Structure 1
C-alpha cells in the first residue's frame, strides 16, 4: 500500500474558499478516479515563516502501478483545476510513502 501525500500552503486571503473547494470538489474528484481507496486531510500545526496555512492530504492507493496510472491519466488535469482557481495563492509539494505497517487497536 502507498500513500500519495500532498502538502499545501495556502494563502490566508483565499483559505476558506480553498478549503471548501478541497472538501467538496477536489478530494471527491481525486477519489472518483478510482485510483485511491480513501483520503485524509490534516492541518499542519506548525506556523510557517512564509505565512499562510499548511495542510497535508493523504491519498491511499494499492500499489505503484495504480499511482503511476493516476500520474499519467489524471494528475495534470486535476492539478490544473487548482491553478486556475487559486493562481499564485498556494505552494504544493508531493511525497510518496510506502506503508510498512498499520496498527489498529
Structure 2
C-alpha cells in the first residue's frame, strides 16, 4: 500500500470555503479516478496558524501502478483545477510513502 500525501497551507480568507470544496468536490473527484481506495484528511497541530491553516490529505493506493496512473493521467488536471479555484491562496507539496507494517 502506498500513501500519496498532499500537505496544504490554506489562507485564512478562504479556509471555510476551501475546506467545504475539498470535502464535497475535490476529494470525491480524486477518489473517482479509481486510483485510490480511501483517503484521510488531517489538520496539522502545533503550527502557527496565523497566516493559514495546514492540512494533510492522504490518498491510499493499492499499488505503485495505481499511483503512477494517477500521476500520469490525472494529477496535472487536478492541480490546474485547484489553481483555477483558489489562485495563490493555497500552497502545497506532495510526498509518496510506503506502508511498512
TM-score interval, normalised by the smaller of the two chains: over 0.9
Name stretches of at least 5 consecutive residues in structure 1 with no aligned partner.
Answer: none
How big is each residue's C-alpha offset from its partner over 1:3-43, in whole Å with a ceiling of 9 and x where there is no partner?
00000000000000100000000000010000000010010
Name 1:72's counterpart in structure 2: 72
How big is each residue's C-alpha offset from its partner over 1:23-82, in whole Å with a ceiling of 9 and x where there is no partner?
000000010000000010010012237720000000000111111110111001111111
Name 1:4's counterpart in structure 2: 4
Matched, 1:19 2:19: yes
Corresponding residue pairs, total: 101
Name stretches of at least 5 consecutive residues in structure 2 with no aligned partner.
Answer: none
Name 1:58's counterpart in structure 2: 58
Name 2:47's counterpart in structure 1: 47
Q: How does the TM-score come out when normalised to structure 2?
A: 0.96
How big is each residue's C-alpha offset from its partner over 1:86-105, in whole Å with a ceiling of 9 and x where there is no partner?
0010110001000001xxxx
SS of 2:34's equivalent in the other structure is coil
- Runs (4 or more) in structure 1 with deviation over 3 Å come to none
CA RMSD of aligned residues (A): 1.2
